[in-house]
Amino acid sequence: MQQMLADFINDGELKKHLRRVAREYRRRRETLLACLRDAFGEQVTVREPEGGLALWVRFADGVDVDQLVGKALELDLVVRSGRQFSPFGHAENALRLGFASLDMDEIRLATQRLAQAAKAIATAVQRNPCGRSPSPLGCAVE
């Protein structure tokens, strides 16, 4: 087994494999970036990593990421709030979107569902900007 691995490395096969995998992940990252730009435009800021298999997507202040996570789950899309990856649970209004396990069609579908979830939240906020039961005065009073 060790000899096979040594031959794999010495014959240059490992380098070929790593180049092929890096090219594929770069393609997936670029697809996700393009889909996010198309779906959200100026509503998001994306940190483009030099490496890694996930993007950090920061949403405009009007988008509640925690609500977005819940609404996305209703649409069978599992996304994680950036807060889950902070050692202190800081409330950064961002999502961490992994792309390594998704093919191109899945990336497109996931982005569409995320946009659908964001639109549903925005519509709900427009109908009830206070986020509580409506009252005759426009916003619920407690």
Which string of DSSP letters, residue by residue, matches the chain?
A: -HHHHHHHHHTTHHHHHHHHHHHHHHHHHHHHHHHHHHHHGGGEEEE--SSSSEEEEEEPTTS-HHHHHHHHHHTT---EEGGGGSTT----SEEEEE-TT--HHHHHHHHHHHHHHHHHHHHHHHH-TTSS---TTSS---
On average, the pLDDT of the chain sits at 87
Judge whether residue 53 has pLDDT over 70: yes
Q: Mean pLDDT across the stretch 8-14?
A: 93
Whether 30 has a pLDDT exceeding 90, the answer reads yes
CATH topology of domain 2-127: Aspartate Aminotransferase, domain 1 (3.90.1150)
Average pLDDT on 57-76 reads: 93
